[in-house]
Amino acid sequence: MNKWKSEVYEHYIMPPTIVVVDGKIRYKFVCKTKPSIFVTHAHHDNSTSNLVWHITECDPIKSTAVSLMRNFVHSVSYDKAKFWFLLVMWLVHRHRPYVIIEDPEFKQLLLMLYGKVDIPPLKRWEIS
């Protein structure tokens, strides 16, 4: 626990309780805002994603700050408008059919690179 430096832990009553779930040792993090809610976390897992998920639901303002910080640390510079512009430029300059954005593998590729990517639906591309 001494190595836990993320500000995510500030949302929970510390230190966490140690519990056994299905024969496995887990940490039980109790929410400070809503003490009836808790998140369990494997004692050997150093990630904070399930803890952040709760914060997103519990405190959207705080989750935005955490999300921005995480994106900065991991060098994410996603901008929806810029992404859509570059996508259109790629389609036009490389003569790709615009329906390619509906391709499931293409979507998976984009989502793998950035899980919150906003892929424009085809109906926005239709010309009337």
Summarize pLDDT for 13-32 with one digit per residue, the tens: 999 999 998 888 899 999 99
**pLDDT at 16 (0 to 100):** 92
In sequence order, what DSSP letters do the residues of 26-91 get, joined into one string?
Answer: EEEEEESS-TT-EEEEETT----HHHHHHHHHH-HHHHHHHHHHHHHHTT----HHHHHHHHHHHH
Q: Report the pLDDT averaged over residues 32-59.
A: 82
Predicted TM-score (pTM) of this structure: 0.45
